[in-house]
């Protein structure tokens, strides 16, 4: 039997409460919560491919998609060309303006929001003049009809030899010098802010529901606030502020602009999963955890993103089952809200996605056997969002909703169970061996289908059926380094 652990919840209340011990006869099973708080970053997916994927995303329980940057960019095969804007024309290797609008419409039809990556801190980093994807001419500090040095649109910080950022302990340098030679916009000036607001307004007109603010750390918080000021009140704003323990700039400074990405979670969960003491993952972001994190209600967490999977600061698809475990812990987390990452396989850090002769990205397709055990060739779409184990727990999260008053955690060595009242229950096993045990699930009696290894199809469960007895007890085998998850939306007995 699992030891019950006190868990400090988002509101700060300590819950040690007993799980419902007995159930009134004939009690109705609760409805799934149908929460839509899980995002998925579809890195370098084209607009057409995202539009085609949205019904499957909705079906799995994803609420929104984060795209790669949609504006005109420099030419080149590397993935990072899209982080060098040439203009704010919505024309890129990922699709046209019309295709982007068609994507947001197709996704909206199935209830999936689309959030765009907004590169607003800088322009290109090329010293030589060139032509962008949509044909716009540019030079390093001259973007005809848009920005120019003559009008004071750029910073030339004069603080380092080449005007590049060198010290992250100097706030002025980080915000006014150049990030890897990228022409740094004078975002403290009104004309620059106004034109950036116009760009975001255009994205909203095209059906975009929110923005990731790329390189937010490299702009002062009032600049970011001014740039997002005209977005609709309900728009999602995700400031990208990489937490550096020794750095003076804190992610918390950006809460005035909206939500913020919490990078510490993914970095911390890597060590926890590799070490096996999964219990520690339940403490991340709580007052029991050692690290200071953003407030839960404004924080978005992720196991990896396109930068961290390349930098290896976090786990990635290449970590197979450990990666699955980290994603399960994220989706079950009481802290923050989760973003699943989905990219393509690579061995060269700079390698772009598969593209045609013109440089247009080829539409992503997911292999039938996408999952942690598969070997990936460079360029293949890894489709982490569709790995059965991850997609199943996304469905669990959507059915149980974010952790509320009834959320509890139980720990027994390297086995950790998450309860969401009568709506769902999930258990992870950090051991190298299977564990069979009788658990107190808190669920109403019935037969529930494990959505990690199985699915409920036409009333039959393709995986383990968890029989919950009176009092909520169930004897369950939790596979080594894996999980079992059940919820009221997947009951075998209807
Ligand atoms: C980000 N967040 O703050 C993005 O998440 C990250 O992926 C971007 O870097 C960065 N900020 C700028 O938007 C990527 C990539 C870099 C790449 C830049 C610009 O990680 O390697 O830099 O985009 O495309 C590349 C070269 C670099 C060169 C620079 C300018 O790697 O050596 O610097 O272009 O030509 C001279
Ligand atoms: Ca800047």
Q: For 428-457, how does the pLDDT look when each residue is reduced to its tens digit (9 = 90+)?
A: 999 999 999 999 999 999 999 999 999 999
The domain in which residue 80 lies consists of: 39-399
Q: Do 395 and 410 fall within a single domain?
A: no
Mean pLDDT of 265-270: 97
Q: Tell me whether residue 411 is in a domain.
A: yes
What pTM did the predictor assign? 0.94
Separation CA 108–CA 32 (nearest Å): 21
Mean pLDDT of 291-306: 93
Q: Tell me whether residue 32 is in a domain.
A: no
- Considering only CA atoms, which residue is closest to atom 16 of ligand 1? 80
Separation CA 85–CA 89 (nearest Å): 9
Q: Tell me whether residue 1 is in a domain.
A: no
Q: Give the DSSP H or E segment for 266.
A: helix 263-275
State whether the beta carbon of 240 lies less than 6 angstroms from ligand 1: yes
Residue length of the chain: 494
Q: Tell me whether residue 27 is in a domain.
A: no
Least confident of 5-19, 222-236, 332-346: 5-19
Residue to mutate (ligand 1; options 82, 123, 125; most atoms within 8 A of CB): 125
CB 319 within 8 A of CB 325: no
pLDDT band, very low/low/confident/very high, at 292 (cuts 50, 70, 90): confident
Catalytic residue among 53, 163, 223, 240: 240
Domain tally, the chain: 2
| CATH number for the domain harbouring residue 386 | 3.20.20.80
State residue 288's pLDDT score. Answer: 59
| pLDDT for 22 beyond 90 | no
Separation CA 423–CA 352 (nearest Å): 42
pLDDT band, very low/low/confident/very high, at 392 (cuts 50, 70, 90): very high
Q: Do 360 and 376 fall within a single domain?
A: yes
State residue 405's pLDDT score. Answer: 84
Residue to mutate (ligand 1; options 180, 211, 346, 352; most atoms within 8 A of CB): 180
214 is catalytic: yes
Mean pLDDT of 483-493: 95
| pLDDT for 25 beyond 80 | no
Mark the residues whose beta carbon lies below 5 A from ion ligand 2. Answer: 121, 175, 184, 218
pLDDT band, very low/low/confident/very high, at 291 (cuts 50, 70, 90): low
240 is catalytic: yes
Q: Which ligand 1 atom is nearest residue 310's CA?
A: 20
Query: Distances in Å between the alpha carbon of 136 and those of 120, 200, 346, 419, 433?
Result: 18, 20, 30, 55, 59
**Residue 456 per-residue DSSP state:** E
In tens, the pLDDT along 128-178 reads: 999 999 999 999 999 999 999 999 999 999 999 999 999 999 999 999 999
State residue 27's pLDDT score. Answer: 53
Q: Tell me whether residue 189 is in a domain.
A: yes
Mean pLDDT of 276-280: 92
In tens, the pLDDT along 188-210 reads: 999 999 999 999 999 999 999 99
Q: Tell me whether residue 5 is in a domain.
A: no
Cβ neighbours of residue 224 closer than 8 Å, sequence gap 6 or more: 187, 213, 216, 239, 254, 257
State residue 278's pLDDT score. Answer: 95
Q: Do 59 and 144 fall within a single domain?
A: yes
Catalytic residue among 72, 178, 184, 214: 214
- For tokens 């990922």, name the residue: 94
Using the 3D structure, point to which of 379, 399, 419 is the last residue of a domain: 399
Task: Looking at the CA of 69, name the nearest ligand.
Answer: 1
Q: Tell me whether residue 102 is in a domain.
A: yes
pLDDT band, very low/low/confident/very high, at 402 (cuts 50, 70, 90): confident
In tens, the pLDDT along 346-362 reads: 999 999 999 999 999 99
| pLDDT for 17 beyond 70 | no
Mean pLDDT of 255-284: 95
State residue 290's pLDDT score. Answer: 52
Q: How far is the CA of 323 from the centre of ligand 1 (A)?
A: 25
- Considering only CA atoms, which residue is closest to atom 28 of ligand 1? 180
Using the 3D structure, point to which of 399, 418, 451 is the last residue of a domain: 399
| CATH number for the domain harbouring residue 425 | 2.60.40.1180
SS3 of residue 486 by DSSP: strand
Q: How far is the CA of 307 from the centre of ligand 1 (A)?
A: 10
State residue 18's pLDDT score. Answer: 31
Q: Do 360 and 239 fall within a single domain?
A: yes
In this structure, are strands 14-15 and 7-8 parallel, antiparallel, or unpaired? antiparallel
**Residue 146 per-residue DSSP state:** T
Mean pLDDT of 180-185: 98
């Amino acid at each position: 039997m699992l030891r019950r652990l006190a868990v400090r919840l988002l509101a700060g209340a300590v819950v040690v409460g007993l799980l419902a011990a007995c159930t009134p006869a004939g009690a109705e099973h609760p409805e799934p919560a149908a929460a839509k708080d899980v995002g998925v970053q579809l890195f370098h997916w084209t607009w057409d491919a995202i539009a085609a994927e949205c019904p499957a995303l909705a079906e799995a329980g994803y609420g929104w998609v984060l795209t790669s940057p949609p504006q005109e960019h420099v030419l080149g095969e590397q993935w990072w060309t899209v982080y060098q804007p040439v203009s704010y024309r919505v024309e890129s290797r990922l699709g046209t303006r019309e295709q982007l609008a068609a994507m947001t419409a197709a996704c909206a039809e199935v209830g999936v929001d689309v959030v765009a990556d907004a590169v607003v801190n800088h322009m290109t980093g090329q010293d030589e003049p060139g032509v962008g994807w949509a044909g716009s001419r540019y030079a390093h500090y001259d973007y005809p009809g848009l920005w120019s040095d003559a009008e004071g649109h750029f910073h030339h910080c004069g603080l380092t030899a080449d005007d590049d950022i060198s010290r992250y302990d100097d706030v002025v340098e980080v915000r006014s010098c150049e990030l890897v030679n990228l022409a740094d916009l004078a975002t403290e000036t009104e004309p620059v802010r106004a034109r950036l607001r116009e760009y975001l307004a255009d994205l909203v007109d095209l059906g975009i529901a929110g923005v990731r603010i790329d390189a937010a750390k490299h702009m002062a918080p009032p600049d970011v606030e001014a740039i997002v000021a005209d977005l609709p009140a309900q728009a999602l704003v995700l400031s990208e502020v990489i937490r550096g323990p020794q750095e003076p700039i804190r992610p918390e400074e950006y809460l005035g602009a909206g939500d913020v990405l919490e990078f510490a979670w993914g970095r911390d969960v890597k060590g926890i999963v590799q070490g096996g003491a999964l219990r520690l993952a339940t403490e991340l972001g709580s007052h029991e955890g050692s690290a200071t994190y953003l407030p839960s209600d404004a924080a978005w967490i992720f196991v990896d993103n396109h930068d961290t999977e390349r930098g290896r600061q976090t786990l990635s698809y290449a970590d197979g089952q450990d990666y699955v475990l980290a994603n399960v812990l994220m989706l079950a987390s009481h802290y923050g809200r989760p973003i699943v990452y989905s990219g393509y396989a690579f061995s060269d850090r700079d390698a772009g996605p598969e593209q045609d002769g013109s440089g247009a990205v080829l539409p992503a397709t997911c292999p039938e056997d996408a999952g942690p055990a598969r070997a990936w060739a460079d360029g293949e779409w890894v489709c982490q969002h569709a790995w059965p184990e991850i997609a199943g727990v996304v469905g669990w999260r959507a059915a149980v909703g974010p952790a509320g008053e009834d959320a509890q955690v139980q720990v027994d060595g390297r086995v950790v169970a998450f309860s969401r009242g009568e709506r769902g229950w999930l258990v992870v096993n950090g051991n190298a061996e299977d564990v069979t045990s009788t658990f107190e699930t808190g669920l109403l009696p019935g037969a529930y289908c494990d959505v990690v290894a199985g699915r409920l199809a036409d009333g039959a469960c393709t995986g383990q059926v968890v029989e919950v007895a009176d009092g909520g007890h169930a004897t369950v085998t939790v596979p080594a380094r894996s999980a079992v998850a059940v919820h009221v939306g997947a009951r075998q007995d209807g």
